[in-house]
Amino acid sequence: MLMREERELVREYGRKLIETGLTTGTGGNISIFNREKGLMAITPSGIDYMDIQAEDIVIMDLEGNTVDGDKRPSSEYDMHRVFYQNRDDVQAVVHTHCIYSTTISCLNWEIPSVHYLVAFCGEKVPCADYATYGTPELAGNAYKAMGKQYNATLLSNHGLLAVGSDIATAFATADQIEFCARLYCQTMAIGKPVVLPVEEMEAVKMKFKTYGQK
């Protein structure tokens, strides 16, 4: 099986989307890019994450062609490949419809540095302009909002997109930004949240580089 390891990881993390409540049903999508092969493994369209098997994961090139697999790829494949084409530091993309991030996206707001964990993304979480799902326009809007500076963006009236150097990092970024989105919603319901200064967020980003068992 071509790219068996990547397929198994996409399947595993797709299930984690459901188990952690980051999405429901078939919402969202996940991909992993093998830069040496120039190919990405991406979730199929419209199949429940708990039912997806490794062979259902679709292998595509960066021109949008299916190289291996008999299922239709996620309709959002453009939103994945645009990052693989333009950012050498990105090897995985996670898109979710998590409730708090999506709530804020429906207001077309950014998430400010209400908590230091926003630094998983950057000094804030930007919000991309709306476009119909599954279109090159949405992919372009997502990349424009995130650029090379951020590791996540809200998608207006849609959801959350996160990227990372590997699937574990991309998933952790989506998970932590959803946590921060919930904090932002709850603090806004009580009063006006205190936002951390840019200098503190830069310091946190530096500390993250040596966090854990690296």
Under 8 Å between Cβ of 130 and 156: yes
Q: Which of 6, 76, 123, 178 is catalytic?
A: 76
Distance CA 159, CA 176 (A): 14
Under 8 Å between Cβ of 128 and 156: yes
137 as an active site residue: the answer is: no
Under 8 Å between Cβ of 196 and 117: no
Who contacts 119 (Cβ-Cβ below 8 Å, separation ≥6)? 113, 201, 204, 205, 208
Q: What are phi and psi of 42, to 5 degrees?
A: -135, 150
Under 8 Å between Cβ of 177 and 153: no
Phi-psi group of 163: left, alpha or beta (phi > 0 → left; psi -120 to 50 → alpha; rest → beta): beta
Distance CA 63, CA 68 (A): 14
Distance CA 173, CA 160 (A): 10
Q: Which residues form the catalytic set? A: 76
